[in-house]
Amino acid sequence: MGLCVVIGQEQSYSLDELLDAGRQFIQQNLDTNIFENHPEIDEQTAQEWLRRIQSQFNSENVVDLAAFRSAAYRLVPLLESLKATRPYAFWLKSRLDYFDVAEQFRVTIPQPKPEPGRPTPPRVNPTPKQQQTVWNRQIEKKPQPAGSAATVAKLKPLFAAQKVPPQLIWLAEVESGFKPSAVSPAGAAGLFQLMPQTAAAMGLSLKPADERFDPEKSARAAAKYLKYLHDRFKDWQLTLAAYNAGEGRVSNLLKKYKAKSFNGIATHLPTETQLYVPKVEATIRKREGMSLGQLSSR
């Protein structure tokens, strides 16, 4: 299948549906007894909770994610306790520091003062510079995932073969914590969390066996997709934003705000993407000693 048919990594349900689910989750489920009231979970219940958390990833306000921090940390061990829900635990566990960083911004970004007779406006989103500073500090204290060295050494040549900087192999740490069986509630899967449409467009088979769970095949597909996105956006920050949020969303925001760089649209991207791009850069800086601007595919 040709590269021109790539749909992108957008979620499988509408933003309105996600935001509505997120609002309902905050109103109905974020109480201190949520997990005490549900000591046992099944796969369907886990998916519902995770979809509600992911809805907040798709909103635009980073600070609001802090409200989910306690729930996310409590949910991980419950997901890990059942074989059926363990793949979701890997997905959520690799994103726990999103909640930590959101909490840091909740503390440091002041709450705007409401005008008389009007509701309190939300906090402004952190700037790209603020994001990068916090993420550099956050990742600096984070150990390399156990067993990842061998995987990195094995998969780097596959990225290089696609003329993609091999240092970008560390996307696997950000996306899945180097867990090949990781699955998101939106349907992304594998080391590089490829959505079904993207995987198929990059030549992977989903049936009878889902090749996204094969580390080498997933790496080839991810590298191929990154190369396609970079050929389009000519910038690694925008490429990563498109990988996470979808190329259509990034392209539309660039047009809407007449921007040419990630910084020009960063605060208008989904919460996860605002956190994702600086996290990837901080991870590559920590693991490889390089910034995104220093990467070369040659």
For 91: left if phi > 0, alpha if psi spans -120 to 50, otherwise beta; the answer is: alpha
In the numeric block, which tokens belong to residue 51?
A: 């979809």
Q: Which residues pair with 189 in a beta bridge?
A: 183, 194
DSSP 8-state code for residue 194? B
CA 164 – CA 103 distance, rounded (Å): 34
On whether the CB atoms of residues 185 and 88 are closer than 8 A, the answer is yes
Q: Contact, 170 vs 285, CB < 8 A?
A: no
Segment holding 254, helix H or strand E: helix 247-256
- Of how many residues is the chain composed? 298
Helix (H) or strand (E) holding 81: none
Provide the CB-side half-sphere exposure for 49 (13 A, CA): 24
Contacts of 229 (CB under 8 A, 6+ apart): 239, 242, 243, 247
The structure tokens listed for 8 are 């992108």
Looking at the annotation, which residues are catalytic?
175
